[in-house]
Chains A and B, each alone.
Chain A
Amino acid sequence: MINSILDQLRPIFSSEVFLLMFSMGTFLLGVLIYKRTKITLLQPLLISMVILIPFLKITGIDYPTFFQQTRILNFMLGPSVVALGYVLYEQIEQIKGNVISILTSVFIGSVVGIGSVVLIAKAMGADRMLMASLAPKSVTTPIAMSLSEKSGGAPALTAAFVVICGIFGGLVGPVLLRKMGIKSKIAQGLAMGSSSHALGTARAMEMGAVEGAISGLAIGIMGIMTALLVPFAEHLF
């Protein structure tokens, strides 16, 4: 009975309009819950995933179909990174005189980040494929996926790690920075963006405009640094 109803409804459920609206709807619900409760773990993206994944399982819609129907959202990830160029321009006064320190800190941060994730995974018995997929976890999805593929990882798995890393950094970052007593807005923004890409930046935006803009800048620098460093990290695999 229930199955036959599901079969009837599946064409509607798997339509582009429905899946897009439903995805956005769960996200808006997530924003509402997050704003009401102020609990950091209840990130809108996480709430959205917790509703969407079981929904797809129950209705029997597979992931490629879902991805195909919501591809416009994934596509918009690109333009939203481009938009950070404007946010950055607004904060230009903050960057002046900080160029060397920004480049130095992000460079060392990327060495530490890539080195530690690969070495810890290796110590815990991860295979080559897993290490290659983990190495670029701190950068934005499009860069991470192409780097992963080049060094023998699974790009789609890397996309998952990028999201895990982003959610984790977004949750822990602000708390950690407060505990460390870091007052500098530039240092906070850089740390968020270089460790957790666009998801870290989304959280940095909540901290303030300067933090957000610097975090956006850090995504770009971290992406370039990581692209240059991953080929060296392959020696560790």
Chain B
Amino acid sequence: MQGFIPGSVLGMILLFLCLFFKIIKPDNVKSVSVVLSKNMAVFFIPAGVGLMVYAEILSKSLFTILAAIAVSTVLTIVTVALIQDNFEKRRAKGGTK
């Protein structure tokens, strides 16, 4: 697992823990955090424009790539949403779980 979790995700967890254990005051990071997290998409511009370099491979296998990504993304959304929704409904009913 070492080296698998990138710094940004570790940073997110650390920031959360620091706030949780009151090491950092929420007001100190609030404004910058809100601005950054509301405008995340802008930081994808350099990676997004990178599509131009792979125009050839992309166009050759375009259908395969799009089909695989589209179906898989839809399946992921459906699975995650349904499972979480079910857990909540069962609990709301006062079921065994």
Contacts and interface: CB of A to CB of B under 8 A. Distances in A.
B44 A81 contact: no
Given A81-B9, A89-B16, A106-B80, 15 more contacts: A52-B49, A63-B53, A74-B43, A80-B43, A105-B84, A140-B8, A160-B54, A165-B73, A168-B70, A172-B73, A191-B77, A194-B80, A199-B44, A220-B9, A223-B9
Nearest to A26: B45
A45 to B, nearest CB: 5
Interface residues of B, number: 70
A190 B80 contact: yes
11 contacts: A74-B46, A80-B43, A105-B79, A105-B80, A109-B79, A147-B4, A160-B51, A163-B51, A190-B80, A192-B77, A220-B12
B83 to A, nearest CB: 4
B49 A83 contact: no
Given A116-B71, A120-B67, A120-B72, A86 B15 contact: yes
Interface of B: 1, 3-9, 11-16, 19-20, 26, 29-30, 32-34, 36-54, 57-58, 61, 63-85, 87-88, 91
Contacts of B50: 63, 67, 156, 159-160, 163
Range of interface residues on A (Cβ < 8 Å): 35 or more
Nearest to A213: B37
Given A45-B41, A156-B50, A163-B44, A82 B15 contact: yes
B76 A195 contact: yes
Tell me whether chain B's interface is mostly helix, strand or loop, or mixed: helix
A74 B61 CA distance: 27
A92 B15 CA distance: 13
A86 B11 contact: no
Given A86-B30, A165-B69, A177-B77, A187 B88 contact: yes
Contacts of B11: 78-79, 81-82, 85
B73 A113 contact: yes
Given A142-B8, A162-B47, A80 B37 contact: yes
B40 A134 contact: no
A49 B42 contact: no
A105 B87 contact: yes
Nearest to A183: B85
Contact of B42 (A24, A120, A124, A218): A24
A194 B73 CA distance: 9
Contacts of A101: 83-84, 87-88
A228 B1 contact: yes
Given A83-B37, A176-B77, A198 B69 contact: no
B12 A84 contact: yes
B71 to A, nearest CB: 6
A218 B79 CA distance: 14
Contact of A205 (B3, B38, B58): B38
